[in-house]
Amino acid sequence: MEITLSHAEAEALRDTIEGFLHELRIEISHTETREFRERLRERERLLERLLEALGHEAAAGTAP
C-alpha cells in the first residue's frame, strides 16, 4: 500500500506516532504480564519502523 502525504501531513503523522510511542513505552514499563508486554513491544517496533520510513521519505524528498 502506498500513501502520498504532504510535508505537513507527514510531519503531523510523525508527531502523532512519536507521542504515542512515548505513552506506549510508559505502558510497557508498567505492564506486569509478560505476554501483554511482548505484544506492546511488537507494536512499539512496528511504530518505530513507520517513523523510520517517514523519515527516509522526507529525507529523499518523496513526501511533498
* 36 vs 5: which has the higher pLDDT: 36
The answer to the question of residue 19 being in a domain is yes
Q: What is this structure's pTM?
A: 0.80
Minimum mean pLDDT range among 1-5, 11-15, 55-59: 55-59
The answer to the question of residue 62 being in a domain is no
Give the number of domains in the chain: 1
Q: What is the pLDDT of residue 63?
A: 46
Q: Which domain holds residue 35?
A: 7-56
Share of the chain above pLDDT 90, in %: 75
Q: Classify residue 64: in a domain, yes or no.
A: no
Cα–Cα distance list, 48 to 2, 25, 32, 55, 58 (Å) = 18, 12, 23, 10, 15
| 26-49 per-residue burial string, b: 16 or more CB within 10 A, e: under 16 | eebeeeeeeeeeeebeeebeeeee
Query: Where does the pLDDT of residue 56 fall: very low under 50, low under 70, confident under 90, or very high at 90 and above?
Result: low
Q: Residue 55's pLDDT band (boundaries 50, 70, 90)?
A: confident
